[in-house]
């Protein structure tokens, strides 16, 4: 992993952690929320992006996370305007470039593989939400329920069928898979009372 990619991931994770911790102009609430936001975002956001990267590279593509300054600005502004009730979770993305052989021939990724790469990130978030849910059942702590909420939101947000979000690529691959995953995520979202 290149230094620039690591830097971009760290910056995006820090900004997203702050955005999730923010709930209005109350410093005490922000400080109280920050450890849970860092835990939820550090694992949820970073592993989400690394899952995209891993699967893209498995398909012989060049994949690298890149910061999206406009997305970061939108995240901060929308969190501020909504007092933390709406999080725009797109401070960057894994850029995927299809495989090119030694003769310069491009191997197209195709809708199915692109859909699988796109589904990998939200799948990680749902897995983490389940782990935090179980941890909260065993030892009820605000840090676990908050980290669960962060991961549920990351999965739901990213599965929206709006380009360039993951959901648009999954929908282009298979409408039934997208619908099944999205309905499940909405049920989880409503069930957690977020």
Burial of 42 (0-12, 13-18, 19+ CB in 10 A): middle
Closest by alpha carbon to 50, among 114, 108, 125? 125
Distances (CA, A) of 165 to 45, 109, 146, 156: 14, 17, 23, 10
The catalytic site residues sit at 49
Separation of CA 1 from chain center: 19
Closest by alpha carbon to 75, among 92, 94, 89, 65? 89
HSE toward the beta carbon, residue 32, CA cutoff 13 A: 8
Q: Please, are residues 121 and 52 in contact by the beta-carbon 8 Å criterion? A: yes
Rounded distance between C-alpha atoms, residue 186 and residue 147, angstroms: 17
């Amino acid at each position: 992993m290149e230094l620039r990619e690591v830097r971009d991931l760290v910056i995006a994770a820090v900004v997203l952690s702050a955005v999730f911790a923010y709930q209005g102009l109350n410093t005490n609430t922000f400080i109280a929320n920050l450890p849970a936001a860092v835990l939820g975002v550090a694992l949820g956001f970073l592993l989400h992006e690394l899952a995209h990267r891993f699967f893209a590279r498995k398909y012989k593509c060049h994949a690298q996370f890149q910061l999206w300054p406009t997305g970061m600005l939108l995240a901060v502004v929308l969190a501020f305007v909504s007092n933390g009730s709406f999080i725009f979770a797109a401070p960057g993305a894994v850029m995927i470039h299809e495989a090119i052989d030694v003769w310069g021939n491009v191997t197209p990724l195709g809708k199915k593989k692109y859909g699988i790469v796109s589904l990998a990130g939200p799948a990680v978030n749902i897995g983490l939400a389940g782990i935090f849910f179980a941890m909260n059942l065993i030892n009820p702590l605000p840090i676990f329920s908050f980290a669960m909420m962060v991961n549920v939101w990351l999965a739901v947000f990213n599965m929206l069928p709006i380009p360039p979000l993951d959901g648009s690529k999954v929908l282009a691959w298979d409408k039934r898979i997208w619908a099944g995953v999205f309905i499940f995520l909405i049920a989880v979202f409503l069930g957690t009372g977020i």
